[in-house]
Amino acid sequence: MISYEHCPQQVLKVNADLLLSLSVLFEKGGENLHQTLGPFVKSCAAFSDYFKLEKLLLSKETLANCLKADRNEYVLMTYEFNRLFVGPTTPEAPPYESIYLSPDHLMMGEQMLAVRKFYLQENLQTAGKGQEPDDFIATEFEFAAYLLSRIMEVQGAKNDRQIQLYINLYHEFWARHLSLWLGLFARRVCQSTRHPVFSALSEVLDTLTTLNAIKHEGGQL
């Protein structure tokens, strides 16, 4: 595995920002897109610029336009968000890992426990009494972002041993979880959405997955 000690902080930051903005976007839900979309679009732009991702150009554009949408448009986005991810009707693309990786597409499958154990390795658990499943997309993104932030920290502290450990942990988390289901999730969103903003979102998720999928095999961060 390539050593990441000298990996520029900026790369980590660009990554972390995107993950975090995604986490917030899903956590705050369709009702707060007017607040959460902005940061997401910004970090997404930074991300695609940094990695020179042509395939994101269009999505970037779409997102930028959606950002300019008026109140009514945002309301429509809210309805669509809930139709896709929340309910009360059967969500088209439930944002939970178990739904994709547990064969019977049920909540709270083995994957949820595996994720929980991952968090515990870092002395972390979901806030609240676990009513919200640990494999909720926002939580997984937050954890990934957190790991990146730790890498930055320990890089600051020049603790090579820890740097390596956190980098491994980060890639392990992607390899075992996010990259296994994010693609499926993105596809489901792309197939069932009726609003450009979510097709763009799915595009971003898809790119993010492929990128990280390469990385955990040892590519440059």
Partner 1 sequence: MKLSRRKFLGGAAAAVSSLTLFNFNLLTNSPPASASDPTSETMKTFRNVCPRNCYDTCGMITYVQDGILKKVEGDPKHGYTNGKLCLKGYAYPRRVYSPDRIKYPMKQSPRGSGNWTRISWDEAMDTISKKILDLKKRYGSTLPICLDKYSGNFGIVHYGIEGTMSSLGYTTRALGTPCWPAGIDAQTYDFGTLYNNDPEDMVNANYIILWGQNAAWTAIHSIPFINKARERGAKLVVIDPIVTSTASKADLYIQVNPSTDGALALGMARYIIDNNWVDWEYGRANSVGFDEWVDYIKKSITLDWASEKTGVPKDIIMEIAREYATTKPASMWVGYGMQRHVNGGQNVRIIDALGVLTGNVGKSGGGVNYGHLETWGFNYNAMINPAPKGSKGFIGPDGKEGDRNINMNNFAHDVTAQSDPPVKMLWLACRNPGAQDPDTHAIEKMFASMEFVVTVDSFFNKTVEMSDIVLPATTHFEDWDVMASYWHYWVGINQRAIEPLYESKSDVEIAIELSKKMNKLEPGSCTFPTSGTPEEWLAKEFNPGILKMLGIKDYKELIDGPRKANMPSAAWSDGKFRTPSKKIEIHCELAAKNGLPALPIWVEEMKSPVKYPIRFITPHPQHALHSQFQNLDWMMTTNPEPKVEIHPVLAAQYGIAEGNMVKIYNDLGSITVKDHLTRTTSPNVVVSYESWYKNSNFNVNYTLKATPSDMGKQATGNNGVAFHDNFVMIEYG
| Binding interface with partner 1 (CB under 8 A) | 23-24, 27, 29-31, 78-79, 82-83, 86-91, 94, 96, 99, 104-108, 112-113, 116-117, 119-127, 129-132, 136, 138-139, 142-143, 145-146, 149-150, 153, 162, 165, 169
In the complex with partner 1, the residue whose CB is nearer, 89 or 220, is: 89
Least Å distance between CB 181 and partner 1? 14
In the complex with partner 1, the residue whose CB is nearer, 31 or 73, is: 31
Distance CA 218, CA 221 (A): 8
Least Å distance between CB 58 and partner 1? 28
Distance CA 182, CA 16 (A): 17
| 17: Cβ contacts below 8 Å, ≥ 6 apart | 43, 46, 47, 145
In the complex with partner 1, the residue whose CB is nearer, 53 or 85, is: 85
In the complex with partner 1, the residue whose CB is nearer, 47 or 146, is: 146
Radius of gyration of the chain measured on its C-alpha atoms = 17
Least Å distance between CB 48 and partner 1? 24
Distance CA 138, CA 50 (A): 23
**Phi and psi angles of residue 25, each rounded to the nearest 5 degrees, phi first:** -55, -45
